[in-house]
Amino acid sequence: MNLKDEILKLKDELDVTLVAHFYQRDEVFELADITGDSLELARKAKETASKYVVFCGVGFMGESVKVLSPEKTVLMPKIACCAMARMIDEGYYEQNLKIINEAGISNDDILPITYINSSAAVKAKVGEMGGMVCTSSNAYKIIEKGLESGKKIFFVPDRCLGQNFAKSLNLKSAVVGDGSDLKEADIICYNGFCSVHQLFTTEDVEFYREKYPDILIAVHPECDPAICDMADFVGSTSQLIKYIKELPLDQKVAVGTEYNMVNRLREKNTFILSSTKPECPTMNETTLEDVYKTLKSIKDNNISEETLIKVDENTIKWARVALERMLEV
């Protein structure tokens, strides 16, 4: 039997749900029971009745499932950490708050919102301060909701997402530490970013528009504001897929997000908006063999500590508050 068949057989035998993000390798992605963008994965994995969740994605995604469903055993065949999520920890979060306070803004005047691409520990900090989580598909709604508090938003860790949504809401943004006036801003952004989405440049957009004057440009909001400003559509991974699938077959579109996902949409006149292959190294780490070994370890009652997602009780308590505030909105 080949690995794929072995995995399918194990999946039938075990009380397990296999989850995969769109950026996973094709051979892993096609075996998943649940696929989606970060919001859909958090929701659907919470709703599944199975005891075991095997999550193919990056660390913060598996942690979010554990936080929302602590009773489930959550396993990640490769616990690979999103490079952006790694740019912030509790220490950096506190350091940024201190800089904001030194600019004359007290914690009572701030509502923190963290992009879901952050550790459970950072989500817990945000939850404790009355804040919530957002994803690329609901950031607009969540920021609008946050602004109802009359406070400034402290947005972590993705500077681009914060700046892009500030622009679309006609708000002023500033980035901690880059010399901009924090007091003037409605949204104060932490200076984090996604190195994969930073690969897309204004030159890439110009190149495609010159080559195919009718081409559409569709990008993820983790791209720099200069790229999002030039795009015809900005959306989460699921929103991008929906947008591209609904286009007429002869409509060309250049897409600014991770390679594996765009490559799967190739038949639809779809181009990758980059001269450099935009692969997310950590999303690409999980192999079929890793998935097989993880499922086999469940069957053999021999789960490796390395694959097990653990979050302490206090972190679960506050990270869950932040995630559930988002799900309620």
* Residue numbers at the binding site for ligand SF4 (CB under 6 A): 58, 82-84, 117, 194, 196, 222, 258, 280, 282-283
The span from the CA of 16 to the CA of 211, in Å, is: 48
Exposure string of 231-246, with b = 16+ CB inside 10 Å and e = fewer, is: bebbbbbbbbbebbee
Considering beta carbons, is residue 127 or 256 the nearer one to ligand SF4?
A: 256
Do 316 and 56 meet the contact criterion of CB atoms below 8 Å apart?
no
Do 240 and 255 meet the contact criterion of CB atoms below 8 Å apart?
yes
Considering beta carbons, is residue 136 or 201 the nearer one to ligand 13P?
A: 136
For the CB of residue 187, give the shortest distance to ligand 13P in the complex, in Å.
19
For the CB of residue 141, give the shortest distance to ligand 13P in the complex, in Å.
14
Considering beta carbons, is residue 17 or 38 the nearer one to ligand 13P?
A: 38
83 makes contact, choosing from ligand 13P, ligand SF4, none, with CB < 5 to 8 Å by partner type, with ligand SF4
**How is the beta sheet containing 110-115 ordered, strand by strand?**
132-134, 110-115, 152-156, 187-189, 173-175
For the CB of residue 167, give the shortest distance to ligand SF4 in the complex, in Å.
20
201 makes contact, choosing from ligand 13P, ligand SF4, none, with CB < 5 to 8 Å by partner type, with none
The span from the CA of 322 to the CA of 8, in Å, is: 35
For the CB of residue 136, give the shortest distance to ligand 13P in the complex, in Å.
4
Residue 211 CB burial class (10 angstroms; 0-12, 13-18, ≥19): exposed
Considering beta carbons, is residue 63 or 222 the nearer one to ligand SF4?
A: 222
Considering beta carbons, is residue 16 or 219 the nearer one to ligand SF4?
A: 219
For the CB of residue 278, give the shortest distance to ligand 13P in the complex, in Å.
10
Cα of 89 vs its chain's centroid, Å? 16
The span from the CA of 201 to the CA of 171, in Å, is: 24
For the CB of residue 329, give the shortest distance to ligand 13P in the complex, in Å.
16
- Which residues of this protein are in contact with ligand 13P, per CB under 6 A? 37-38, 82, 117, 135-136, 194, 220, 222, 236-237
135 makes contact, choosing from ligand SF4, ligand 13P, none, with CB < 5 to 8 Å by partner type, with ligand 13P
Considering beta carbons, is residue 238 or 269 the nearer one to ligand 13P?
A: 238
List the one residue out of 237, 226, 281, 245 whose CA is nearest residue 261: 237
For the CB of residue 204, give the shortest distance to ligand 13P in the complex, in Å.
17
For the CB of residue 263, give the shortest distance to ligand 13P in the complex, in Å.
15
The span from the CA of 236 to the CA of 240, in Å, is: 6
Considering beta carbons, is residue 100 or 273 the nearer one to ligand 13P?
A: 273
Beta-carbon contacts of residue 229 (< 8 Å; ≥ 6 apart) = 167
151 makes contact, choosing from ligand SF4, ligand 13P, none, with CB < 5 to 8 Å by partner type, with none
DSSP secondary structure letter of residue 301? T
Beta-carbon contacts of residue 289 (< 8 Å; ≥ 6 apart) = 3
327 makes contact, choosing from ligand SF4, ligand 13P, none, with CB < 5 to 8 Å by partner type, with none
State phi, psi for 256 to the nearest 5 degrees: -105, 80
Considering beta carbons, is residue 204 or 222 the nearer one to ligand 13P?
A: 222
For residue 230, what are its two tokens? 């030039």
